[in-house]
């Protein structure tokens, strides 16, 4: 049957006898098979080289199709459940689903759905059966993805207060390259929003003609109009997710241009902009992502309380400014403030080469006054930026709608020396972590160490690929990719005694066994003139320190089309709720160096059995 079906689809293409590489590609597409150009090209070339021709006949095509599509590991599975090795009856498919895919609930309906969805041969489909062709298509589909199907949609409770969630957050969102001389670009905002990012950073400075601009101050990065940034955010805010977007303003504008900012926020964002509290004006806890759906929140310093701002709602506050006093440079002792100039400006505009000592003598903290336009201040409702003093100070004085930004170096010290207080702090207040100022090449830190203590907004440079962004993207695949992930109970509970270094009674040990069977159509090595590589698989666990682990498979020599490992790896994970698992495929170039071929990262608890 499958032979007849196959011929019926392809014979038309061979009316003239032979086809070339392009037609081969088109035909594979018509057969609804995912394939990689490099591999098809190589197999095609091997076939035609024997005959010094550029075209293949119908039998050649069939051989190419089998080489690429009929994977032996699929055949072994199929044969184990199909008595005649040609057809799976619905009952046999049910047995396969229960035994191999751990779908204990699988029944006739499940089997039928799969057959109708994946079986390409009509008469087989009508008999409620599955051919090997159907089986291949099912095994290669999203339904057999390692990522749990029900985690692809929003499944978590979205009615907790905002501080109970990890929130996908970006640093200096306007930069698409380095932090010093590279371009600022609107694409930074578009791409971050399309990736589900929910907290964007906007650095605002006074521009000419009373128009605020966005760029990395005191550097040569290019400038973009604030107005354009807000227009792009308005357009793309809710494409990937319905849940609220927070605009973290790093505000260096004069009160006059702050008013211009407030006007643009209101006129461009309209109803999307949150301008008043929802429900009770008296705030005891933050509203939930659910309650703030399709809303854009402004995070900025604020004069006075939200309640006072609410009383001014209908008055025109143009021209009014307020003052905030805060300790000067209460920032991290060994990292300059997030946006300090990279070279101190001297009186003449010559650059001084001397650097500030890394540990300045602790002077008595001076107070500085910051002027804020009331019009902008009043747009800050649930996300008021508050300078971080200490955990004790926050516990005694901080309101639920006030949040802190802490640089990575200072935050790392807290993780090491006061993790319990840090966890207690993040269970109450939204905490944002940002990369140290010396990461001028836009490199990233490992976000895991800050998720481990419950930090909600761990801001990364989205434009920089690497393990750190792979962990970020992997973590936020969860919960439908909506950019909000409910923190584990031990990071939400105000009385929690959890710390990442000593998980104690919060550990729920889980044993994990992973069998690496095979790869298929891996990217060929950069060193290979054909389609070869020497691939190995690395399995890495990221989580609390005692869960960090790395295991390596053997190397399969010169095979990127269909390497076969059949190796089993076992791990024990103490805190599965915080763990991510990363599969990384590398090409062994020499005994000391490997080249990256590809990776996939996902939350451990989103791993599908089977």
Return the H-helix or E-strand segment holding 152: none
Of 42, 151, 160, 171, catalytic: 171
356 exposed, middle or buried (CB, 10 Å; 0-12, 13-18, 19+)? Answer: exposed
Active site residue 151: no
**Secondary structure class of 9 (helix, strand, coil):** helix
Helices marked H in 429-529: 448-451, 467-475, 489-492
Instruction: Dig out the tokens for 489 from the structure.
Output: 């109970």
445 exposed, middle or buried (CB, 10 Å; 0-12, 13-18, 19+)? Answer: buried
Active site residue 54: no
Q: β-strand 367-373 against 245-251: which pairing, if any?
A: unpaired
Q: β-strand 431-434 against 402-407: which pairing, if any?
A: parallel
363 vs 350: CA distance, rounded Å:
27
3-state secondary structure 401-442: CEEEEEEHHHHHHHHHHCHHHHHHHHHHCCEEEECCCCCCCC
50: CB partners within 8 A, 6+ apart:
none
Which residues on neighbouring strands pair with residue 327, listed in sequence order?
367
Distance of CA 155 to CAs 148, 290, 397, 427, 488, Å?
12, 13, 35, 22, 14
Asked if residue 381 lies in contact with residue 297, where contact means CB atoms within 8 angstroms, the answer is yes
579 vs 488: CA distance, rounded Å:
11
Of 39, 42, 216, 520, catalytic: 216
Per-residue DSSP letters for 39-92? HHHHHHHHHHHTTT-S-B-HHHHHHHHHHHH--HHHHHHHHHH-TTSSEEEHHH
Conformational region of residue 52, where left means phi above 0, alpha means psi within -120 to 50, and beta covers everything else: left
339 vs 252: CA distance, rounded Å:
10
Q: How much helix, strand and coil, in percent to the nearest 5, is found in the chain?
A: 35, 20, 45
Instruction: Dig out the tokens for 478 from the structure.
Output: 């969860």
538 vs 78: CA distance, rounded Å:
28
Instruction: Dig out the tokens for 159 from the structure.
Output: 């009615």
Rg (C-alpha) for the chain, rounded Å, is: 29
**Secondary structure class of 607 (helix, strand, coil):** strand
**Secondary structure class of 264 (helix, strand, coil):** helix
**Secondary structure class of 225 (helix, strand, coil):** strand
- Our measurement of the distance from residue 332's CA atom to the centroid of its chain's CA atoms, rounded to an integer in Å, reads 28
Q: Which residues are catalytic?
A: 171, 216
């Amino acid at each position: 049957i499958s032979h007849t079906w196959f011929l019926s689809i392809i014979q038309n293409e061979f009316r003239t006898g032979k086809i070339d590489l392009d037609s081969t590609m088109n035909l594979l597409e018509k057969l609804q098979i995912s394939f990689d150009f490099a591999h098809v090209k190589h197999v095609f070339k091997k076939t035609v080289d024997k005959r010094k021709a550029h075209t293949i006949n119908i039998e050649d095509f069939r051989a190419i199709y089998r080489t690429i599509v009929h994977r032996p590991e699929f055949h072994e599975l199929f044969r184990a459940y199909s008595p005649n090795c040609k057809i799976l009856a619905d009952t046999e498919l049910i047995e396969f689903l229960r035994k191999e895919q751990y779908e204990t609930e699988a029944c006739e309906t499940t089997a039928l759905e799969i057959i109708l969805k994946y079986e390409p041969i009509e008469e087989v489909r009508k008999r409620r059966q599955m051919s090997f062709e159907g089986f291949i298509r099912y095994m290669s589909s999203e339904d057999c993805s390692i990522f749990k199907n029900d985690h692809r949609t929003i499944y978590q409770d979205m009615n907790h207060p905002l501080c109970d969630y990890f929130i996908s957050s970006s640093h200096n969102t306007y930069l698409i390259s380095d932090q010093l001389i590279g371009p600022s670009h609107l694409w930074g905002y578009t791409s971050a929003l399309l990736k589900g990012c929910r907290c964007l950073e906007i650095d605002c400075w006074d521009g000419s003609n009373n128009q605020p601009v966005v760029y990395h101050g005191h550097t040569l990065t290019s400038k973009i109009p604030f107005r354009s940034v807000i227009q792009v955010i308005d357009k793309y805010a809710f494409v990937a997710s319905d849940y609220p977007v927070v605009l973290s303003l790093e505000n260096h504008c004069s009160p006059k241009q702050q008013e211009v900012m407030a006007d643009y926020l209101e006129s461009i964002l309209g109803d999307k902009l949150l301008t008043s509290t929802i429900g009770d004006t008296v705030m005891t806890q933050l509203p939930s992502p659910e309650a703030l759906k399709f809303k854009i929140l402004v995070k900025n310093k604020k004069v006075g309380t939200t309640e006072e701002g609410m009383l001014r709602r209908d008055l025109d506050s143009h021209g009014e400014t307020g003052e905030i006093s805060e300790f000067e440079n209460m920032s991290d002792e060994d990292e300059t403030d997030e946006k300090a100039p990279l070279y101190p400006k001297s009186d003449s505009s010559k650059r001084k080469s001397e650097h500030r000592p890394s540990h300045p003598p602790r002077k008595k903290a001076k107070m500085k006054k910051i002027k804020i336009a009331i019009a902008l201040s009043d747009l800050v409702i649930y996300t008021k930026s508050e300078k971080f003093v200490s955990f004790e100070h926050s516990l005694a004085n901080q309101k639920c709608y006030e949040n802190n930004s802490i640089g990575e170096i200072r935050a790392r010290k807290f993780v090491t020396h006061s993790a319990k207080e840090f966890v207690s702090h993040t269970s109450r207040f939204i905490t944002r972590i940002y990369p140290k100022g010396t990461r001028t090449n836009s490199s990233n830190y490992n976000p895991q160490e800050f998720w481990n203590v419950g930090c909600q907004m761990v801001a990364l440079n989205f434009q920089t690929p690497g393990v750190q962004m792979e962990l970020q993207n992997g973590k936020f695949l969860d919960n439908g990719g909506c950019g909000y992930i409910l923190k584990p109970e031990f990071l939400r509970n105000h009385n929690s005694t959890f710390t990442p270094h000593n998980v104690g009674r919060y550990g729920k040990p889980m044993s994990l066994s992973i069998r690496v069977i095979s790869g298929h159509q891996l990217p060929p090595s950069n060193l290979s003139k054909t389609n070869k590589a020497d691939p190995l698989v690395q399995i890495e666990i990221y989580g609390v320190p005692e869960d960090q682990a790395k295991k390596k498979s053997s190397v399969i020599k010169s095979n990127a089309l269909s390497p076969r490992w059949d190796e089993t790896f076992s791990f024990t994970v103490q805190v599965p709720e915080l763990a991510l698992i990363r599969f990384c495929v590398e090409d062994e170039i020499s005994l000391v160096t490997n080249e990256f071929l590809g990776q996939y990262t996902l939350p451990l608890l989103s791993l599908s059995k089977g």
